[in-house]
């Protein structure tokens, strides 16, 4: 904690993150932002447009609201020539059943379906006006208002039938994204901090400190102390970053981030993150002990340093099909499993629990196995001076 480089990084990382977000909003807040305004066209058959417009204005949404005479039969043709446009059809069905049909263009703000909830209050107010407050008549109000996304994909526009999608799908993705992004951030923070183990072990060899330290403790205790110590530093780095960045995100985006964050699934995602750190930390501390100097690292050591980035090869297949064969294979490979699992579980609406349990079991066994291997390598390598160990020499140590 007294290391100046660490303290500078501790504070600069969240500040740099906020600075990039601020610059992005600064450059995108002028005419570019205006061009991305969402055009909301309402086919109002119950005389509620004025109340809807007032509710949107009070929430300071970047919407351009207007009434339209376009019918649901004509809306698909209209959407072929429009961008950032949504059509809302509010009729007696919307009042009596709490259902509002929504059609959106292919290019639409990702938060639009969440923002639609601000229109629920005026609709529910009109529902109450029509009720005598009997149990049966209160049912539509208690059920709330559902905005049904009935947009048909562009290639299907003009077809006689299309698939009806609920607007809550987009909201559910945001709910899944928040804990997934949080767990990914935690893993990246502690893994990057843990990569310092690599340099720490070699630096102690270079400065001849290893012999002095090992006169008081065993190699196993030294290795475990490094892993635990750098894990704690990574957690501190993550906590400080979150404390600084989270209020900015809550103010920047009108979303209940705290509510989305603290969900049961977060425990599973954080478990995967911690197991990922322990796996890579064991590898780093073992390989770090085989180097005389970080500046003289060979190709073998350099390849090991790239292991945390190996999940990148599965990103495209996972985005294309989170339940596909390549996504499943990536979940079972120990070096790619943490990143792949977090990405998959963020994208999937329903988790494949059997696959998750198997992948976590493989991770736990891999952590135990590589801890054992790292202990053997560290015990011999930390006292080896004058050169970097070759892969052949490392294999000999493992056989001892």
Structure tokens at 339: 């990143």
Backbone angles phi, psi at 255, to 5 degrees: -135, 145
Q: Counting beta carbons within 10 angstroms of the beta carbon of residue 392, is it exposed (0 to 12), middle (13 to 18) or buried (19 or more)? A: exposed
- Give me the pLDDT at residue 164, please: 42
CA distance linking residue 275 with residue 335, whole number of Å: 11
Residue 357 pLDDT more than 90? yes
Mean pLDDT of 67-77: 87
CA atoms within 13 A on the CB side of 96: 4
Helical spans, DSSP H, in 85-218: 92-97, 112-115, 120-129, 135-143, 168-194, 196-206, 210-214
CA distance linking residue 204 with residue 210, whole number of Å: 5
Backbone angles phi, psi at 387, to 5 degrees: -160, 165
Q: What is the dihedral sign for C-alpha 332, 338, 343, 345?
A: positive
- Give me the pLDDT at residue 154, please: 44
Q: How many residues can be counted in the chain?
A: 400
- 398 or 359, which is more confident: 359
Span of 70-84, 121-135, 153-167, 284-298 with lowest mean pLDDT: 153-167
CA distance linking residue 288 with residue 378, whole number of Å: 8
Confidence at 125, pLDDT banded by 50, 70, 90: confident
- 391 or 100, which is more confident: 100
Task: Answer whether 46's CB lies under 8 Å from 91's CB.
Answer: yes
Q: Counting beta carbons within 10 angstroms of the beta carbon of residue 306, is it exposed (0 to 12), middle (13 to 18) or buried (19 or more)? A: exposed
Residue 143 pLDDT more than 90? no
Residue 305 pLDDT more than 90? no
CA distance linking residue 378 with residue 196, whole number of Å: 16
Facing residues of 384 across strands?
none
- Give me the pLDDT at residue 57, please: 86
Residue 163 pLDDT more than 50? no
């Amino acid at each position: 904690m007294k290391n100046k480089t660490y303290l500078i990084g501790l504070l600069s990382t969240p500040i740099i993150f906020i600075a990039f977000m601020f610059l992005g909003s600064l450059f995108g807040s002028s005419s570019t932002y205006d061009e991305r305004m969402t055009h909301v066209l309402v086919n109002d058959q119950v005389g509620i447009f004025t109340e809807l417009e007032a509710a949107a204005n009070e929430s300071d949404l970047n919407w351009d609201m207007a009434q339209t005479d376009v019918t649901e039969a004509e809306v698909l043709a209209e959407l072929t020539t429009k961008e950032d446009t949504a059509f809302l059809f509010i009729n007696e069905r919307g009042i009596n059943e709490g259902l509002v049909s929504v059609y959106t263009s292919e290019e639409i703000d990702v938060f639009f379906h969440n923002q639609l909830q601000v229109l629920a209050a005026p609709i529910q107010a009109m529902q109450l006006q029509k009720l005598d407050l009997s149990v049966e008549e209160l049912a539509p109000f208690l059920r709330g208002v559902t905005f049904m996304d009935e947009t048909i994909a562009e290639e299907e526009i003009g077809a006689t039938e299309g698939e009806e999608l609920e607007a809550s799908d987009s909201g559910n993705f945001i709910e899944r994204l928040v804990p997934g992004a949080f767990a990914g951030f935690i893993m990246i923070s502690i893994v990057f901090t843990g990569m310092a183990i690599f340099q720490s072990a070699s630096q102690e060899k270079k400065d001849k400190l290893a012999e002095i330290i090992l006169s008081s403790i065993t190699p196993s205790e030294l290795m475990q102390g490094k892993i635990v110590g750098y894990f704690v530093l990574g957690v501190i780095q993550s906590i400080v970053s979150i404390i600084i960045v989270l209020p900015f995100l809550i103010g920047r985006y009108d979303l209940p981030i705290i509510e989305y964050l603290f969900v049961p699934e977060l425990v599973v995602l954080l478990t995967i993150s911690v197991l990922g750190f322990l796996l890579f930390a064991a590898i780093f501390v073992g390989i770090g002990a085989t180097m005389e100097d970080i500046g003289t690292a060979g190709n073998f050591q350099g390849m090991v340093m790239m292991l945390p980035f190996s999940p990148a090869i599965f990103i495209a297949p996972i985005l294309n099909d989170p339940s596909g064969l390549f996504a499943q294979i990536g979940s079972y490979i120990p070096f790619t499993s943490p990143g792949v699992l977090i990405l998959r579980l963020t994208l999937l609406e329903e988790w494949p629990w059997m696959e998750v349990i198997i992948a976590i079991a493989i991770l736990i066994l891999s952590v135990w196995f590589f801890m054992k291997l790292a202990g053997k390598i560290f015990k011999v390598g930390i006292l080896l001076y004058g050169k970097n160990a070759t892969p052949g020499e490392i294999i000999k140590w493992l056989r001892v």
